[in-house]
Structure formats: structure tokens, C-alpha cells
Chains A and B, each alone.
Chain A
Amino acid sequence: MPTRSSADLIVIGAGVVGAACAYYAARSGISVTVIDRGAVAGGTTGAGEGNLLVSDKEPGPELELALLSVRLWRELSDLLPPRIEYEAKGGLVVASDEASMAALRGFAARQERAGVKAEQATVDQLRDLEPHLAPDLAGGFHYPQDAQVQPALAAAHLLRAAGGQGSGGVRLRLGEEVIGVLTGANGEVRGVRTASGDVRAPYIVNAAGSWGGELARLAGVGLPVLPRRGFVLVTEPLPRVVRRKVYAADYVADVASGSAALQTSAVVEGTPSGPVLIGASRERVGFDRTLSVEALRRLAAQATRLFPVLAGVRAMRTYAGFRPYLPDHLPAIGPDPRVPGLLHACGHEGAGIGLAPATGLIVARVLSGGQLPLDIEPFRPHRFDAAG
């Protein structure tokens, strides 16, 4: 098999996480080759909604990653073209009764101690923030740090910008599936094999999203990434009836749940191009795309509960995506001690768009020997091994 060009780093996966890894690595002078078996953003990134949320996260390592990421997204929004549709619009979590308002208050207080900005909103304030909200809610919290991007465009523009001035250079190989990992005499990474040849590099990053487990297997290690299905409903274009990201307080419980059963708690948000997005359900059913009428029913019922005006609005389409999910709901980020030269950046479940920049920065710092922005111990890829 012909050996083809080489680079310092091969990133496997051109989703938003791979794009962010390529961006920060190239920006620190590393030459990068990005390989994807499909197109840019053709995986889960193309099925995600682009919420950059801190509001839904418990204090802990994921929240730290999210807080770093919202800062980085803000920086990126100045560097990347406006077409990525970055909007610092804020989130609004609402409670339907006093009991859930009390729970939300406790949750928000803990978040604030961890650096999250959360502002309690009375019923009247809710109406100012979102005039079309149902009148009978108990109250809510406003999270000004929550923001939004269009995920596919964000990934594409991160990759474009990665090759700019002072960069180590980025090459994109699309339509090439990685079918093997090349290793040297001591088991260290030497590159990857694709159907059309070998590509050499001393480091590879597994940014294969929901397929990250298969990729790890190619490198001879275990990483239990599972798909967690989500449906999103997209409405006809509307004038702005929903200004922020609005969701019911129960969403927080769904996210943290490990259950395989269907859970839904609709996040409702407007987009610059007009359609309202309602997402997303969560269930573990493998890679099954069959339409779940029940998931759509719940999303629609919850959205119209929050915004009664939406009842007459048409859902134009729906799509399913598969979140890359690890059993402890944390991503795998950083070097894999089992195979020298192998790094992972996958398993971000329902938050990969939000967490991409921080992930990319960590990967770049690991490779360039720079200072790590936060403790990456909780994300160590081998933590599911008996010994890990």
C-alpha cells in the first residue's frame, strides 16, 4: 500500500470536535491532517442544535469545561465570520409549580458558587424576557452565559480558519474511512490506514463522535461510547416569538439520567433564519432512525405548554441524531496511556457543540506541552478499564 503524505497530527472526524482540535492544534504550529469518511459536519454535528449551555450543568468537571468553552466561543465569534450564527442570547429555565421552582433555586445556587451567572426571574420578569410564555408558570432563572451557534457552519469555519496565518497547516481528506491504526515496534502510533492508503503521523486524535468506540477498537483499546438518540422538531419560519433558549426545569434531571427509556424535555428556541427548534428527546435505542411518534408528541406537547402560540405553527421536519454517550456522562479527552501517541476527544453526548473549543484547546496544549487550562483527570480515556 502506498504511503502518502505525513503530518504531525491526524484528527479522525470532521465534526465540530475534530474541527476544534484541528483549529487549536494548527494555531499552535502543529501540522494537521483531518480525515473523515463523509463530509464536514456529516455526523452528529449536523444533527445537533447548537446550544452552548452552562445552565443545564451540575457543578463538576463538565461545568468547568462548559464555562471555559463559553468564553472560547465568545472569542471565536470575533475571529470567525458572522455566518456561524453565534448569538449570546441567554437561556431561560422555567418552573411550572412552586415545588420545581424551589428545586431550581437550590440548583442555581450551587451553580453560582461554581461561577455560573443565574438570575432569578419572577413571573412578571418572565413575561418581559419572553412575552409569549404561558401565563401560569411559577417563575424561572435567566442564564445570560448561554449562547448558540449553527453547528455545521461553526465546524466548517473552524476548519477554514485553522489554516490561516501562523498555522501549522491543515489538510482535509473527506470521503476516506480510517480502517486501521498503524503502530510501531513499541506499540506507539505511526499513523492510520484508509482504504486509499496509509497516512503517517506520530499522533492521532480520535474525534469520531458516536463511532469513537469503534475507532478505539482499531487502536486496540476499549472505550464504551454508546449512541443516545435524539429527535428535533423544526417549525416553519416565524418572526421572533421565542427570544432565548427556553426549557422546563425537568430537563436538568433528564440530562443527568442514565436511563435507557425515552425522556423528553423540550428546549425551545428561535433561530436567526426563522424556524423554531424544539429538541431534544433522549433514548438509548442503538443507531435506529425509525421515527418515534411518541417522542414527537412529547416534544410538541411540551413546547406548546411553554408557548401556547406554537399550537397553530407547523412542524416542517424532524430529524434524529445519535449523541456519543459514555456511561458516566463525561467525555474522553486527552492522551491514552495504553497506546503512546493516541489521544481521544469524543463522547460529549448532548453537549459536544458547546464543549468543542475547550476540548480542542486541551488537545493542542497536551501536544505542544503547554499549560492545561483545567484538570483533565476526570476525562481520562482509560477510566473504564478495571485498572483505570
Chain B
Amino acid sequence: MPNSPSDEATDDRYSALYDLAVIGAGCAGLAGAVAASERGLSVALLDAAGQIGGQFYRHPAPPLGAVRPQALHHDWSLFAGLRRRLEASDIVHLAGHHVWTVVREGEGEWAVHAVTAADGTGERPARVRARTVLLATGAYERHLPFPGWTLPGVVAAGGAQAMLKSGLVLPGRRVVVAGSGPLLLAVAASLSAAGARVPAVVEASGYTGYARRPGVLAANPHKLMEAVIHATGLVRRGVRLRTRSAVTQVHGTDRVEAVTVSRIDRDWRPLPGTGRRIACDALAVGHGLVPQVELATSLGCATRRTEDGTYALALDALQETSVRGLWAAGETGGIGGADLARTEGELAGIAVAARTRGRPELARGGRVRELQRRRDGMRDFADAMAAVHAPGSGWVHWLDDATDVCRCEEVSAGAIREALADYGARDARTVKLLTRAGMGWCQGRMCGAAVACLAAGAGAESAPASPERRPLAVPVPLGVLGSLEPSEPTATPTGPSGQPDAAGPDEPGRPVDGRTRPSTAGPCKPAD
């Protein structure tokens, strides 16, 4: 893995035309990069982070390395294996590279544009050219606001987990874990293993939903065992698991002092009179993850609605997106966990090798069939999980008009309701235009789901027709943009698919995105 900072090497790293550029060095990207490299491809591996591992194998930065990261990861040996293979390879690892866009650069060639300050000389543009791209950018957390969620001491569940893994900091001493999804159990287990008291895990769904899909469960014993182990460990430590409940209010003046936990109905509507106060000094909340797909959607890649109302990339049997030459693996194709991400990454790496080396038989071998079988089983399980934990439409009843929904721009639920009822907004985009919700630092990653649900609740469109557009995946300094190499603008009046693009994938004013596969699931699961 040559990434020595010598000047000449630096130039080479950006002038080469790689067979494959992998964006994201988490489970999926790592597995894809080594699989392709071991089949003879030249590979560049870009990641915004300084070290490999992504969200799952997040580990303390070297100065903090005193503790054994393995203690927080049961799959550590698998990661160590990928890391060894990466070190043994000639993959060019470009750490600290924030990719802001990928553009087509002629037939069968892509340019990956990043901002980097990795060599310590200030931010500058970096451009990597490759014949194919593997998008393995993972996911970010979904937030659903509720009264008090902006109080210090309220943290994101996955964020708390990440903090533990990378710096081993606890968000508090008595931490209530709430929201929905399998991540809650993992987070509670980590928190309590690290010494926090966890008085309750508050899960909005019931687990009974899983029982309705016995086939899926039987095919995924590993997943199931993981949950059971987490749950039994928690029970032993005195953690109470409350299902069909939600934190509907946070109390405290300067910081969290307690939360109110209410029972909710199947639609996530709070049942009056069921509120109970639980004292705590922190609240870790999570409502699942959202695939980070903006690099792909900017290129016109087709998406699919997942069972819990997010957008994931629509992929073929070999992990290729609808745009030829662009592959995806891991959470970008739908939330499914580290094991699935690794499996898909390897599959994609092999498929890219088969394509670029002109050896289709590589993609028909026993290993590919085995990986595909495992992937399909895990995807089924992931879909089942998403369906069980999909937010019910009643959660908006937790919100009073004063609750800020967009924290960056301080836009309240009341202002959003007004834009929908009185000003003619109908979807997240027009709410944004009329209220500024989603225009701040996080670019709607934080409030997007909530705004979409409020819009759906207002009876406008039942679901956003397409994922939000974010043509800049990360912020870019103007000085960096302005110092790019001049190039000829592509002035072909065609869409990304090469077809004349009569109306773009989500042309304003066009409610239906023809390229988005419709799904019956809303962002908020309708009452069934």
C-alpha cells in the first residue's frame, strides 16, 4: 500500500488512470478494494477519514491506542484480515479525501473530485480518474425530533456508539437509550459495558413483527443470535426493555435531567395518560440509518424505496447501479449491517474485475454464487428489519408547534406546518424554500426525514418522489473550487443515461420521478 508522502509519489497518485476508484473505506469499500486488487486491478481507495474501518470498525486514533479496540467489536478479526490484505496490496489509499462529486469524463472514464488537506499544506483539490467507481459511502443516522431533543445531553445513538469506539467517552452516567431499530440494543450493550447505567431501552416498535417472517429469521441465525446475546446481556445488567414506547419529552433546563416515556399505539401515536418519568443525565436516540447516496443520485442512478421510507440505490445481481460503470456496496444499497457490507463489497470487487479485465467467467464462479446467496439472505433479513422498525405516521403527534425540527436554521414544526397549510409547499424541497428548513450545515441530513413526514401528513404527496438532491456531497471552499483545472464544459443536451432528458430525474414541478421505483411504503408507515 504505497502512500508515502514523497512528492513524486504524490503526483503519481493523481495522474494515474485507475481501473477502480473506491469511495469509502468501511467494510464494504475495503472488501471491494482488496477483492479487485487481488484480481489484478489498479485501485484507489478514498475516504474522508484519516483511518480505514468506516463506522463499524471505528477505533481510537493512534494516540489513544492504549485500550484494546477489539473489546468493542466481536468481528475484529475479520477487520484485521481486511487490513492485512490492504497492507499487502498495491492499493493507493487516499485518506483524508472528502469526495464532493463524481462526474463522467468521456466514455468509460470517471473523475472523482475531492478536497483534501491530508498533506498538511491547507485544503486543495484532488482529482482521481478511474474507469469504474465503487460507491461505499455508508449511511447516516435518521433523526425524528420531539420536544426537548435539542437539550445538551441528548445524543444520537449511533453517534454515542461512535464516540465510545473512537475516544471512549460516555455521553453520561445514566443513559436512556430510545428510538427504534436493532442498533439500540448494541448501543445499550456498549454503554453498559463501558460503565454507564442504562435504566431503560425504549423501542417504538414491537419485536413481534419479526415473528411474522419466520423464514427470514431461520435463514439468518447469526443475526438473530447477535440480538439475543445483546438482549440477555442487557437483562442481566438490569436494563429494562420497553417496547411500543417512546420518549415524548425531555426535561431539564441546561441539560437532560429526566425523560417522559409514553406508550404508543401501532401507529406510534402516544397513548394519553401513559407517560412515566425516568431520571437520567443523557438520552441516546436513534431511528435507524439513511443510505448516503448523493454522489450516485447526482449521476442519475436509480433508487428504490426501502421498507422504512429511505432511498437506497437500486442494484443488479452483481452490485452495479443503473448507470454502467458505477457500482455500490454496503449501506448505500440499503441498511443491512457490517457482514452484508463486506459480502457486497467483495461481490462488487469481483464483478468490476470481471468487467474491466474482460473476463466474464470471473463473475460466474462458485465464490460469486456463494456471496450472492449470502447477500440475498441478509438483504431479506434487512428488509424485514426495516419493515418492523419503520416509523409510524403518528410520531408527528409528539411534536408541538414550538419544537425545532431544523436545528441548523431553527425552523419550528409550527413554521413547517404553516408553509404546508398556508403557503402551498407540498414536499421537503418546497418546505425548504419557504422556511429554510434543511438549508443549514447538515443540508437536511438531520431534518429531512422529519420534514418529509410532516409534508406527507399534511396530505400532499404521500411520499417524496425521489431522494433529496445534494450535488455537493460535502462543502467545498470557493478557493479550492476556483483553482480546479479549467475544462471544456460538456454541452451535450442529453441526460446522464445518454437519453435526451426531457425532464430531469426530479424536475421541479414534476411530482413523479420516472426513474424511482415506486414503493407502497411511505416515509411514515401508514396505519395497517
Contact = CB atoms under 8 A, between A and B. Distances in A.
B477 A152 contact: no
A312 B477 contact: yes
A305 B478 CA distance: 11
Nearest to B427: A39
Given A37-B511, A175-B461, A297-B484, A315 B430 contact: no
Contacts of B478: 233, 235, 278, 300, 303-304, 310-315
Interface string A270-290: 000101001000011111111
The number of chain B residues touching the other chain, given as a range, is 35 or more
A233 to B, nearest CB: 7
A303 B491 CA distance: 23
Interface in B261-305: 298-300
B424 A41 contact: yes
A294 interface: yes
B509 to A, nearest CB: 4
Given A42-B429, A284-B493, A315-B477, A289 B505 contact: yes
Nearest to A14: B424
Q: Could you say which of B433, B508, B511 has the most chain A C-beta atoms within 10 Å of its C-beta?
A: B508
A316 B441 contact: yes
A321 B506 CA distance: 12
A273 B441 contact: no
A146 interface: no
A387 interface: no
Contacts of A38: 426-427, 430, 508-511
Contact of A42 (B299, B477, B509): B509
Contact of B487 (A283, A293, A304, A320): A293
B101 interface: yes
A150 B425 CA distance: 15
Interface string A194-229: 000000000000000001000000000000000000
Contacts of A292: 489-490
Contacts of B475: 236, 314-316
B434 interface: yes
Contacts of A295: 489
A223 B443 CA distance: 38
A301 B507 CA distance: 28
A291 B496 CA distance: 10
Interface stretch (A43-51, A328-336, A358-366): A43-51
Q: For the complex, would chain B's binding face be called helix, strand, loop or mixed by DSSP majority?
A: loop
Interface in B438-477: 439-441, 443, 460-461, 469-472, 475-477
A252 interface: no
Contacts of B370: none
Contact of B424 (A44, A159, A283): A159
B300 to A, nearest CB: 7
A374 interface: no
Contacts of B461: 175
A36 interface: yes
B500 interface: yes
Given A36-B509, A287-B503, A46 B430 contact: yes
A305 B483 CA distance: 11
Interface string B40-62: 00000000000000000000000
Given A172-B424, A287-B502, A294 B488 contact: yes
Contacts of B490: 285, 290, 292
Contacts of B472: 315-318
A236 B484 CA distance: 20
Interface string B479-522: 10111101111111111100011111101111100000000000
A310 B482 CA distance: 11
Nearest to A315: B476
A354 B92 CA distance: 51
Interface string B409-432: 100000000010011111101100
B398 to A, nearest CB: 26
B103 A293 contact: yes
A137 B199 CA distance: 66
A297 B504 contact: no
B421 to A, nearest CB: 11
Contacts of B495: 286-288, 290
16 contacts: A41-B433, A43-B509, A153-B433, A156-B425, A174-B460, A236-B475, A273-B436, A284-B493, A286-B500, A287-B503, A288-B493, A289-B501, A293-B101, A303-B482, A317-B439, A317-B443
For the complex of A and B, 3 pairs with smallest distance between CB atoms: A40-B424, A311-B479, A300-B481
